[in-house]
Amino acid sequence: VWPVNWLQGLEAAMDTAHVGHLHRGWHQPEATADAGAGGQASLFAIQPRFEIEETAYGLRSAGVRKGEDGTSYVRISEFLPPFTAMTPGSLDGAKGEASLYFFVPVDDRSHLQFFGFFSQHEQLGSFFMRDSCTDPDNYVVVQGSCDDNWGQDREAMARGHFSGFVDHVLLEDAVVQASIGAIADRSRDFLTHTDLGVQRCRQLLLAALDRFEAGEKVDGAMPGVTRSVLARGALIPSDGDWRDIE
């Protein structure tokens, strides 16, 4: 159970710009091996430019990071309203894998977050987000409060870990969300171009509420969802179109 409103969890999943910053203390082997070559890991550090495509079931949010060598690193997230998001797995998506999140409201101030990781092509094997999980049924426990920095490990930070939350990568997300309050005051938001996915996600949900309140039928069966709906990561030429990624 995460001690925040479900929408804060959903918005974090749609904000793929935060991954290269907040989670940089977690070095995956493929990223570390590539970092010295100026490859995918260096592309990951670039601030993305976002493009949104609305679909029959929700929307796709593409974060495009253009490198100096004519290569762009693209991460495409999927939003299946109202409670489901899918984000890319590995840096290049070669295994057809993705992370799947379900945000289930408990009340206005807490939600259940179900997380899964899958591959379309092969067995997953070892995976750092699963390997670091001590309890698969309760993989993130937010402890403490702002008075003790939610249990932040300052010694780990002194050794080089970025956030000081070393139990699980998703604990970083949970603490950031908790730190802004159980129900975020969005009147104080200053959204930028990197928040485009969050903006459009909110607009889509508000439009659905308007239709419902006007007496229109809102289809919750996610029409248009097929096996081809998959969060994807890929390296493409900088003049390429991310919509052509398969």
pLDDT tens, N- to C-terminus, the chain (246 residues): 899 999 999 999 988 888 878 888 775 544 444 444 445 557 667 888 999 999 988 999 999 988 888 888 898 999 999 999 999 876 666 667 888 999 999 999 999 999 888 888 777 777 666 777 667 777 788 888 889 999 999 999 999 899 999 888 888 999 999 999 999 998 888 888 888 989 999 999 999 999 999 999 887 777 778 888 889 888 889 999 999 987
The residues facing 80 across adjacent strands are 84
pLDDT at site 41: 59
What is d(CA 80, CA 136) in angstroms, rounded to the nearest whole number? Answer: 24
pLDDT at site 242: 92
Which residues have CB under 8 Å from 21's CB, separation 6+? none
Please, are residues 236 and 68 in contact by the beta-carbon 8 Å criterion? no
What is d(CA 4, CA 100) in angstroms, rounded to the nearest whole number? Answer: 19
State how far Cα 11 lies from the chain centre: 8
pLDDT at site 214: 95
Please, are residues 163 and 157 in contact by the beta-carbon 8 Å criterion? yes
The pTM of the full predicted model, rounded to 2 decimals, is: 0.84
